[in-house]
Structure 1
């Protein structure tokens, strides 16, 4: 037993020493100390003669010193040994290339290819050896002949990658499609690579080429896989209506689930393609035989319609809710629908008392913990709308306690903080927000950090917190959809608290309210004031991002938008808008979007 233990210790020490020497040899090579590298690699190769990489390290070191003759001598000796690695054919050929001897170079490259013809299992190591030397045509021949000889050797990924490096995009696309067809589990990987050669622009040359290849395949060998990839392409291009055509084909031909189509509806909503979203949701309602799916689709459709009402006439929306509750009674299956209806009563019809009564009835239903939490959060929100802060805090605190380790519990904590802030209890709000900065939900963490900074930054210089109280009041008015009153309260801050830290916050909130009212010139003026007068404050990146989007979407001035996005990219890398600004900037510049 003691002998075995000593042996294991000795082997461990040997492995550690070998690893250290390996690292030292590579360090010498990378630093250009090739003579030292040769000595180190020779020692390693003597101790481990089966490790061909050490021998190649010696050869490469001589090549870096332009001592090609010594490298040639070593290679020719090694290649004569029994069981010599076929990689040496490639290395020898490459050494002749370095000596400008193309005849001998091609001779040994051909030997490498012939070796794989007789021993297909060596195709991978020989092909990779060619790839490492950027001898892509030779590597391609190795992989293709291996596939032709035995289709079980799947080198489609290697072949596709080589075509991509050669710039033969059509063959690269086709090879990746062959890979997906052959091994569907590789679909996600292939899509990630293909996406690097596509843009969001459907008129881009590569996008058109990829679409044509998919359409041709779908005609020649119909398969739902091609419909899925066409849908994926159209989604990349934000052509949701065209993606919907493919998704309908998938659903009708074999996919019994509507989940893919439901996901498409959500993406359409997120990208403000309301027309397509309505069409998709209507289709789901018509085709589904699952009550839960119909209710979810109906909810989203009603929300879209609520947002489109401009005249304050909600009779049609009320009728739709009534019809849904006639068909689907108020119970645990319609909890989210009940919540939405209560919000509709409170925020659109301005009937908060009726909404509160309605939700209190919902609470009495047999609900699980998460359903109950959802209803209590909605109830708390409406109580805040009515400025019944203490009652709201009771419900939020109940949810926080019941689901303290859940995202819903963290959302409840944030609502506790926000409600305390509305009522002027800034110290307690800040205490709650400190905890939320490390929330697992990035959205909650960002919101918490933003609100905490507003409170802390504007509490130091004004012990009475007069301006902060006005700002919180404006924030509450905005939440209550009293936009005019909120804008006026913010104007009071801007006029009577000049020079205080709250000023840029007031300008930003006021600009956002102007945008909601489609008063884009006023919003732009506020953003410019922040950029000009508060360029060193933390909100300047928000102003840059907002004004960039204004120029892009409302003023049809992409060049100016690009300039503002560029400002974030080069001068505000720590901004939460950095990634989105980078994407927008690259798209405007015409780059390929990964």
Structure 2
């Protein structure tokens, strides 16, 4: 019987709540459609049933005000205040009601009563401040939040204060509030990083960057904590000052010898941004101090990759020493794959690379490592022009990891291989699927190769130069740049004026870039535009030229000119976001 009564009570309560929700939805519809008289009846009913629901009250008041029934609002609020004079948020509503009637003097009296009520009832301080904020009385909202925190040490309205200061353009105060939030509760760290990142840039001289750094240093001096080193390191990473970030992480490590995660993450970021000096120092610390094999071999592998990128004379010796010291086993599979990649693309020795990878395959004991080895084996076999065997490996990965990033990469590699061997129909079918890939890089590569094939497929057994272009692409893949350029020059001479000409010129320009022949690359990019100034490669050319001027030739004016061409002439370009950001940075904007 007792259970039956409880069930009935629960059922009745559920129906009551469901009924209120439906009533509120209908009222909201009336409100949004400016049907205030209809909405009033529903909101009044809801408010009578739930007099502490401030949403119902706020909506009801708004409806009365929109229909010029200010006296009803005044009577409603005063009646409630007589019953419960401690509900200070009612004074805010009453004050705003006076203000809407152009009676600022009476409004100010009510606003002052609301602020003073916080001294007696700090628990309502947040609600009072929120009402002030909703009425755009930002200075009064600040006053209410600050008084509430003063009266209640457990209250933390730093986030709300920071948002208000941001709206007012008071960025020094905004950053100080964010820092105070973290000082009171370090669980707010990720929230503060997320919101602060909206205001700071990668320019260390930017006014907001300086302001945030100043707030951190001020707090660090008055109340030293590890969290300030963490935030300073994060700021320096944003500013791409990785050496300064490393100093902060070293300070953290000195106080906690096990705290290597920050060092490892900094190493990864520095590596990706080509600050190899800082990256090496980070990875050396991880290798020396970590107790986790996975972290040790990750760091060791990245150090070896830096040697490859810096073209160190003893790169191969470093690989061999690492494999000698740590063995050829499951721990060193990523290093074995990196070594095979070095042998393949730097030494151009596919046979040796395949041998290394066949050995690595024996120790690949996780799904990821098995995929890694198979993908690299496929690449080595393509390099050796053993296309059918390569396709088997790519197909195996694609089948087992159909919807993953690696599966999509395998499908692209398979399509590219088919293209190299002249099977354009199959390649095109695979690339069509990949154009919608979740991996943007794979999708872009697939879309470009799809268009190359579509635009230049042989028709009626008449050569269009696509087979020769595929041969040049294969030579470029094999790092045989000079041979690829020779083939391209022949194709350009033989197929001048045909649709493949701009594609061949574009490929030739990228090969000149690879050979660091930047002036020659610029000349060929200009030829692409001359061949078809409205073609699909125009925005690619603009971006490539802008990047050359920006990163290699130190000509910022020319770089700005070409970034600007993308911004104004190609608003649908995949390069638009990057072009706009880089253009504004070169122009000196506070982004």
Is the structural similarity TM-score above 0.5? yes
Provide the residue aligned with 1:493 in structure 2: 491
- Greater CA deviation, 188-197 or 222-231? 188-197
Take 1:566 and 1:134, find their aligned partners in 2: how far apart are those partners? 39
Take 1:478 and 1:237, find their aligned partners in 2: how far apart are those partners? 36
Deviation of residue 351 (structure 1)? 2.6
Provide the residue aligned with 2:180 in structure 1: 178
Take 2:325 and 2:140, find their aligned partners in 1: how far apart are those partners? 68
| Deviation digits for residues 231-275 of structure 1 (CA, Å, limit 9, x no counterpart) | 000011000111111112222211614332222122112222223
Structure 2 gaps of 5+ residues are none
Deviation of residue 426 (structure 1)? 0.9
Contact in 2 for aligned 1:545/1:564 (Cα 8 Å): yes
Provide the residue aligned with 2:77 in structure 1: 78
Provide the residue aligned with 1:89 in structure 2: 91
- Greater CA deviation, 373-382 or 413-422? 373-382
Provide the residue aligned with 2:577 in structure 1: 579
Take 2:272 and 2:187, find their aligned partners in 1: how far apart are those partners? 28
Contact in 1 for aligned 2:398/2:411 (Cα 8 Å): yes
Deviation of residue 229 (structure 1)? 0.4
Provide the residue aligned with 2:347 in structure 1: 349
Deviation of residue 501 (structure 1)? 2.5
1:144 aligns with 2:142: no
| Deviation digits for residues 132-165 of structure 1 (CA, Å, limit 9, x no counterpart) | 2221121111111111111222212112222222
SS at match of 1:214: helix
SS at match of 1:481: coil
Take 1:429 and 1:505, find their aligned partners in 2: how far apart are those partners? 18
RMSD of the alignment, in Å? 3.0
1:159 aligns with 2:157: no
Provide the residue aligned with 1:33 in structure 2: none
Alignment counterpart, residue 202 of structure 2, candidates 200, 203, 228: 200
Take 2:149 and 2:40, find their aligned partners in 1: how far apart are those partners? 37
- Greater CA deviation, 373-382 or 492-501? 492-501
Take 1:9 and 1:91, find their aligned partners in 2: how far apart are those partners? 32
Provide the residue aligned with 2:334 in structure 1: 336
Contact in 1 for aligned 2:350/2:380 (Cα 8 Å): yes
Structure 1 gaps of 5+ residues are 29-35
Over 3 Å counting, the alpha-carbon distance change for 1:45 and 1:380 in structure 2 is: closer
SS at match of 2:474: helix
Over 3 Å counting, the alpha-carbon distance change for 1:45 and 1:212 in structure 2 is: closer
| Deviation digits for residues 336-370 of structure 1 (CA, Å, limit 9, x no counterpart) | 11112222222222332222223223334463443
Deviation of residue 109 (structure 1)? 0.5
1:26 aligns with 2:22: no
Over 3 Å counting, the alpha-carbon distance change for 1:164 and 1:404 in structure 2 is: closer
Take 2:364 and 2:127, find their aligned partners in 1: how far apart are those partners? 64
1:298 aligns with 2:333: no
- Greater CA deviation, 414-423 or 79-88? 79-88
Provide the residue aligned with 1:270 in structure 2: 272
| Deviation digits for residues 387-416 of structure 1 (CA, Å, limit 9, x no counterpart) | 121222233233333444543333222211
Provide the residue aligned with 2:515 in structure 1: 517
Take 1:428 and 1:361, find their aligned partners in 2: how far apart are those partners? 32
1:222 aligns with 2:220: no
Take 1:290 and 1:74, find their aligned partners in 2: how far apart are those partners? 67
TM-score between the two structures when normalised by the length of structure 2: 0.89
Deviation of residue 289 (structure 1)? 4.8
SS at match of 1:48: helix
| Mapping of residues 85-484 of structure 1, within 5 Å | 86-254=88-256, 256-309=258-311, 316-365=314-363, 367-459=365-457, 463-484=461-482
Deviation of residue 436 (structure 1)? 2.7
SS at match of 1:387: coil
Deviation of residue 180 (structure 1)? 1.6
Contact in 2 for aligned 1:41/1:54 (Cα 8 Å): no
Deviation of residue 488 (structure 1)? 2.4
Take 1:396 and 1:300, find their aligned partners in 2: how far apart are those partners? 25
Take 1:520 and 1:569, find their aligned partners in 2: how far apart are those partners? 24
Of the two structures, which has the highest relative contact order with CA contacts closer than 8 Å and spacing of 6 or more? 1
Over 3 Å counting, the alpha-carbon distance change for 1:402 and 1:104 in structure 2 is: closer
